[in-house]
Amino acid sequence: MQIPDEMLKRAEYISSLIKRSDEVLIVTHIDADGITSGSIARITLDRLGIENEVVFVKQLSDSEIEKIADENKFTWFTDLGSGQINSIIDKKIDFVITDHHLPVMDNKRQLNPHSFGFDGSYELSGATTTYILSRYLGNRLFAMNVDLIPLSIVGAVGDLQDSREGRLLGLNRIVIDEGIKRKVLAVHKDLRFFGKQTRPVVKMLEYTFDPYLPGISGNEAGAINFLDSLGIEVSEWKKWIDLSEEERKRAVNEIVKLCISAGIPFKSIKRIVGETYILSHEEEGTELRDAMEFSTLLNATARYGYEDVGLKVCLGDRDGAFKRARTLLQNHRRNLSEGIRLVDEIGIVELENIQYFDAKDMILDTIVGIVAGMCFSKANLNKPIIALARNDEGIKVSARATQRLVDRGVNLAKAIKLVSEKIGGKGGGHSIAAGALIPESEVDRFLKELDRVIGQQLARA
Ligand code: C5P
Ligand code: C5P
Ligand code: C5P
Ligand code: ZN
């Protein structure tokens, strides 16, 4: 595979616009892919001697776009912008975009995999798109910025782009291959659970919900029994990376057997083992060594309003900011397991074509989508799952589908955008994961209408 010439030409044009500016405002998204995208942009501009500043937004709403327009600066949108390019142009912002969300139109100032025949939900992320531009902006002195590849892979993994087949696909592979060649990245075949580097094995198993391991997920005693039965010593400090190769093999075999007997679809079982992306220059046993855990660490900062902490870690702080991020990670993990417990309690309501839960103000709107995705393993796999949460501006909607549903015709970004706009809200995202902000009074209509539209998508395919 190769990056298409048209795309490289586009990158060349966009980099010429950036090089011409003497000050750049970087606007990015508050998740792992957004933080890594913003850091890549920032480091790239620093190296060019271009003054810059990174600001984070939860959503690129009209009011945010107005605020940005008021700054009157050349603006580089990373990991967002493609869904709002009309408003950006309307507000006369001097801009460029490196994004992977479904674009509302093509534009010379926008680098987006969708414009070149690639699916931005898994073939290139915000950070890997931004890296492609960064490479163009690089020079020999900084080895064409290839040292930023690991950060970009953290972004792609943070958006779960490897979850489709257990490895990154599409244009992401070009970035990986270069990373391996330049020895900044290593790829291993291993279990794809969160926490291999940092959680005690018991906790790693207990906190795994994708797939849902019967008797083990969310069940500490079950996880201990499972390891005991394999003759693997359970201790408070022993992590997955501390087990012998033989022990790891034994555990993987048993996990696979357990999943088969639980009737988990073969496709999901296949994804249990896959590629793990190792950041060769980071210390072993830390969250930063493994792209999956690095991305979780970043989510744990930005989704709680501490994006500056995540940004500092990406920019190289291994001291104060890193320690703070680790504390935030503990908190994030607690919130995710409490979120899952809450959904168990309130239950998931099934409509004809969708299922939903209403977390009210009991789950933070910025993590309710993560919880929805994690709940999938115990919900109906044949219907998209919709999560509702309250925030200051209205009702935050997070929607997640499975790959199988997408293959059968579901496109959450299109459905959510259509339905939310019809009832005075706003939304977008990807075919497999999307979100919206809607007025509180319209929730029932929204669900009913969404149920209908998803039904149509399934019927049409
Ligand atoms: O805003 P952004 O593009 O970063 O978010 C992408 C979202 O899609 C993430 O929440 C990610 O976890 C979700 N996703 C998913 N399943 C996939 C791919 C992405 O839930 N297979
Ligand atoms: O919002 P999105 O769907 O991208 O969420 C992906 C995130 O889910 C990961 O970065 C991580 O924070 C979290 N996660 C986790 N443990 C799991 C599954 C997901 O911490 N077992
Ligand atoms: O917030 P959540 O993780 O559910 O977001 C899923 C996807 O939907 C992300 O790609 C996000 O950028 C997108 N989204 C959006 N508009 C919103 C909320 C989320 O485009 N109002
Ligand atoms: Zn993204």
Strands 23-29 and 51-57: parallel
Cβ atoms of residues 387 and 357 within 8 Å = yes
Higher pLDDT among residues 262 and 395, named by residue: 395
Amino acid sitting at position 91: K
Q: Tell me if 5-148 shares its fold with 347-459.
A: no
| Range ranked top by mean pLDDT from 124-133, 194-203, 280-289 | 124-133
CA of 288 to the centre of ligand 1 (A): 20
The 10 Å Cβ neighbour count of residue 303 is: 23
Ligand 1 lined by 369 (C-beta under 6 Å)? yes
- Which CATH number is associated with domain 347-459? 3.10.310.40
pLDDT at 264: 84
CA of 156 to the centre of ligand 1 (A): 9
- 337 CB contacts (<8 Å, ≥6 apart)? 207, 218
Which residue matches tokens 């790891």? 248
Of 140-144, 155-159, 304-308, 330-334, which gets the smallest average pLDDT?
Answer: 140-144
pLDDT in tens, 389-433: 999 999 999 999 988 899 999 999 999 999 999 999 999 988 999
Ligand nearest to the CA of 426: 3
| Choices 3.40.50.1000, 3.40.50.20, 1.10.1660.10, 3.90.1640.30: CATH for 5-148 | 3.90.1640.30
Cβ atoms of residues 331 and 190 within 8 Å = no
Domain boundaries, the chain: 5-148, 292-340, 347-459
Q: Which residues, listed in sequence order, are joined to residue 390 by a DSSP beta bridge?
A: 395
* pLDDT at 377 > cutoff 70: no
Ligand nearest to the CA of 298: 2
Question: Which residue ranges have their beta carbon within 6 Å of ligand 3?
Answer: 59, 83, 101, 369, 398, 426-430, 433-437
- 197 CB contacts (<8 Å, ≥6 apart)? 239, 240, 241, 284, 285, 286, 287, 289, 290, 293
- Average pLDDT for 183-192: 96
Which of 109, 102, 103, 104 lies closest to 76, judged by CA?
A: 109
* pLDDT at 299 > cutoff 90: yes
- 5 CB contacts (<8 Å, ≥6 apart)? none
pLDDT at 219: 84
ipTM of the complex: 0.79
Which of 385, 341, 378 lies closest to 363, judged by CA?
A: 341
CA of 31 to the centre of ligand 1 (A): 10
Residue from 336, 365, 397 whose mutation best tests the ligand 2 pocket (most atoms within 8 A of CB)? 336
pLDDT in tens, 23-68: 999 999 999 999 999 999 999 999 999 999 999 998 899 999 999 9
pLDDT in tens, 104-125: 999 999 999 999 999 999 999 9
Q: Establish whether the linkage from the previous residue to 4 is cis, with ω within 30° of 0.
A: no
The confidence band for 205, taking pLDDT boundaries of 50, 70 and 90, is very high
Ligand nearest to the CA of 77: 4
DSSP 385: E
- Using CB atoms within 10 Å of the CB of residue 385, give its burial: 0 to 12 exposed, 13 to 18 middle, 19+ buried: buried
pLDDT at 108: 98
Tokens coding 274: 């896959």
CA of 20 to the centre of ligand 2 (A): 38
163-168 contacts, C-beta under 8 A, 24 or more apart: 163/210, 163/271, 163/403, 164/122, 164/271, 164/403, 165/270, 165/271, 165/274, 166/192, 166/270, 166/271, 166/272, 166/273, 166/274, 166/275, 167/274, 167/275, 168/122, 168/275, 168/277
* Residue 398 CA, closest ligand 1 atom number: 10
Cα 43 from chain centroid (whole Å) = 21
* pLDDT at 88 > cutoff 90: yes
Amino acid sitting at position 171: L
Ligand 1 lined by 163 (C-beta under 6 Å)? yes
User: What's the CA gap between 34 and 156, in Å, rounded?
Assistant: 10
Which of 447, 417, 439 lies closest to 429, judged by CA?
A: 417
Ligand 2 lined by 369 (C-beta under 6 Å)? yes
How much of the chain is helix, strand and coil, in % rounded to 5? 50, 15, 35
